[in-house]
Amino acid sequence: MAARIVIASGKGGVGKSSFTAGIACALQNSGHNVLVVDCDIGLRSLDIILGAGADMLFTWGDIIAGRCSCDDALTRTNCGCSLLCAPSEFEECFTPEAMRSMADEYEERFDFILFDSPAGIGNGFRLAAAAADSAIVVATPDGVCVRSGAVAADSLALLGIKNSRLVINRFDKKATIKGKRLNIDDVIDSTCLRLIGVVPQDNVLSFNMTCGRLLPKRSPSAAAFSRIASRLEGKRVPLEID
Ligand SMILES: Nc1ncnc2c1ncn2[C@@H]1O[C@H](COP(=O)(O)OP(=O)(O)O)[C@@H](O)[C@H]1O
Ligand SMILES: [Mg+2]
């Protein structure tokens, strides 16, 4: 049975899609079959981030609307995980039930199905959460983002997802020591979520992902993704702040 995880944040631009790509590649590299579902209707990004752009023919919207099969819509990515691209427009047939039925079709073939939520807590967010059984809330260590992360976690709980974990993204030790960013304890206290990992501010990530290149294995963010992937596999990995 696949673990189905929605990646959410409330606020946009905090690193949900980058995190989804990083964790998908880390899980795939450790031998799992991973499916990523880009749920950002009209603003898809994971085809570029995961270096899959040119191959994309169908989207998950085409599956739900009956225009293609589940196999037709799967796109291969640079790290070997599979991707379902987001449709460019919303259609009436995109319902939570349809998302769940579609995810059920992939259940046997994948170990992890990751749903990358759009910003906000509206329709797209609800569709992304519909087929998930747990969540990862991504927050950068600042007041606005932490508050929207807490709202997203509350909204997920109302949708029936009680198991939400926290990822602190773009952590910058120097800025935190200078008091320019919230510290890790503050973010945990404000969101009331269990921490599953901390991803450092990493300009290599920003450069590589925006042009669909794999992260170098030794980059600080790749190491963080690999530790978080191990925790998702149920391993006990000490928290390391790069
Ligand atoms: N850990 C990080 N270090 C540096 N840049 C990051 C990090 N995480 C995300 N970014 C950058 O932040 C921007 C927004 O990221 P993205 O994943 O698209 O956010 P979201 O999906 O939440 O809107 C991108 O330019 C991305 O490269
Ligand atoms: Mg995104």
The string of pLDDT tens digits covering residues 36-54 is 999 999 999 999 999 996 6
Average pLDDT, the chain: 94
217, pLDDT greater than 90: no
Interval 172-191 mean pLDDT: 91
Any ligand 1 atom below 6 A from CB of 117 = no
Any ligand 1 atom below 6 A from CB of 9 = yes
Identify the nearest ligand to the CA of 38 by its number: 2
162, pLDDT greater than 90: no
In CATH, what class is 3-232?
Answer: alpha beta
Any ligand 1 atom below 6 A from CB of 207 = no
Any ligand 1 atom below 6 A from CB of 210 = yes
57, pLDDT greater than 90: no
d(CA 38, CA 87): 9
- The pLDDT > 90 percentage for the chain reads 90
Counting ligand 1 atoms within 8 A of each CB, the residue from 7, 9, 18 with the most, and so the one to mutate, is 18
The string of pLDDT tens digits covering residues 80-107 is 999 999 999 999 999 999 999 999 999 9
Interval 144-172 mean pLDDT: 95
The string of pLDDT tens digits covering residues 108-131 is 999 999 999 999 999 999 999 999
Residue 64 Cα, ligand 2 centroid: separation in angstroms?
21
Q: Are 85 and 44 in contact (CB under 8 A)?
A: yes
Residue 23 Cα, ligand 2 centroid: separation in angstroms?
14
Any ligand 1 atom below 6 A from CB of 148 = no
Identify the nearest ligand to the CA of 22 by its number: 1
d(CA 133, CA 148): 21
Any ligand 1 atom below 6 A from CB of 206 = yes
